[in-house]
Amino acid sequence: MRALGWLLFGLFLLYLLLPMLAPVVYSFSQMWLGLLPEGFTLAWYRRVLQDPRYLEAALLSLRVALLAVLLNVAVGVPTAYVAYTWTGRVGEGLRRLLQVLPLLVPPLVVGLGFLLAFNRPPLALSGTFWIVVFGHAALGFPFFFRTVYAGLAGIEVRLLMEAAQASGAGLLARMRYVLLPNLLPAVLSGSLVAFAISMGEFEVTSMVAGFGTVTLPLLLFQSLREDFRAASAVASVLLYTTLLALAGLTLLKRR
């Protein structure tokens, strides 16, 4: 019975890993006609590096991801602090709402909501660079919030803030010199998760971005019709980015 359980677990793990590893294997192979790939090459990565479209899209995705992370830090840390310190049923309801509700809303619904909400003056941002940043920040916010909230639960935040207030520190000073330094590991962990989500985001971007905002996932989708091998190399780069973020998150948790 135990051996059967391990077998089922191994098959399920293979089922999860195979779709993620296939583009990586394909991006390093010269050809793949049978069951196994043949040859080893870096030609497809060189083709991506030599095409200016991919560099421009990668830099744009990097800008969007960094701005989305900064927006999450600016909004998420105060929101998590308010939700943590708000006592009573209202505070408990707010915490549950912020942690659960955004995860239940599909990205297509988020994209449609952004199209409808930011399509008319004075908030006519549809098709601009900034609506992509706001959309990515909204998708990463629940993950960032949950990480920061868990960090707040691990420190005596009320005692620290009360001690700083008794010493004469104002709200901004308490946030900057007391709250953020103690929350730095949680903020960095949440930022890495939000960054990885933004770098690979496709659905909301494809709905709200204009023709001048082509991120790396959008270019990847376009490349599927032109050069499947180059598209596999781009998909592998996105996977490497996610794995690096995961490794950084693991390192932060150990420290």
Is residue 3 scored above 70 in pLDDT?
yes
When pLDDT is averaged across residues 93-114 and rounded to a whole number, the result is 76
Q: Of 65, 68, 104, 103, nearest to 242 (Cα)?
A: 65
Homologous superfamily (CATH) of 41-254 is: MetI-like (1.10.3720.10)
Q: What is the overall mean pLDDT for the chain?
A: 81
- 67 pLDDT band, cuts 50/70/90, is very high
Is residue 194 scored above 70 in pLDDT?
yes
Residues shown for the chain: 255
Higher pLDDT, 254 or 168: 168
For 108-139, b/e burial (b = at least 16 CB within 10 A) is eebbebbbeebeeeeeebbbbeebbbbbbbbb
Q: What is the dihedral of CA 193, 180, 104, 61, to 10 degrees?
A: -40
Higher pLDDT, 67 or 53: 67
Query: Which residue type, as a one-letter code, is found at position 25?
Result: V
Is residue 54 scored above 90 in pLDDT?
no
